[in-house]
Amino acid sequence: MGITAGKQSMYDDIARLALAIHDHSYFFSLRRGLKTSFSRDLNGSGTQGLYIKRKDDEDVSSFLITVIFGPIYGKDEEFLYEADLITDQRKDYEPTINRGKHRFGARAATIEVDWHCDEARQWRLDVARLSQSPDTLTGWLEANLEMLVRCGSRNCWHSAILSKTDLERHVAAGLTLESLREQLKCSECRKRGARVIVF
* pLDDT, greater one: 172 or 98: 172
Query: How far is it, in rounded angstroms, from Cα 141 to Cα 171?
Result: 9
Query: How far is it, in rounded angstroms, from Cα 120 to Cα 160?
Result: 27
Domain ranges of the chain: 5-130, 137-198
Over residues 42-65, the pLDDT tens digits come to 776 788 999 999 999 988 888 999
Count of Cβ atoms closer than 10 Å to residue 76 Cβ: 5
Query: How far is it, in rounded angstroms, from Cα 160 to Cα 95?
Result: 38
Residue 156 has pLDDT above 80, yes or no: yes
Over residues 161-188, the pLDDT tens digits come to 999 999 999 999 999 999 998 888 888 8
Query: How far is it, in rounded angstroms, from Cα 134 to Cα 118?
Result: 27
* Per-residue pLDDT at 3: 61
Over residues 108-150, the pLDDT tens digits come to 999 999 999 999 999 999 999 999 889 999 999 998 899 999 8
* Per-residue pLDDT at 96: 75
- Phi and psi torsions of 85, nearest 5°: -90, 110
Per the CB < 8 A criterion, the answer to whether 156 and 188 are in contact is yes
* Per-residue pLDDT at 25: 93
- Phi and psi torsions of 170, nearest 5°: -70, -40
DSSP 115-183: TTSHHHHHHHHHHHHHT---SSHHHHHHTT--EEEE---TTT--EEEE-HHHHHHHHHTT--HHHHHHH
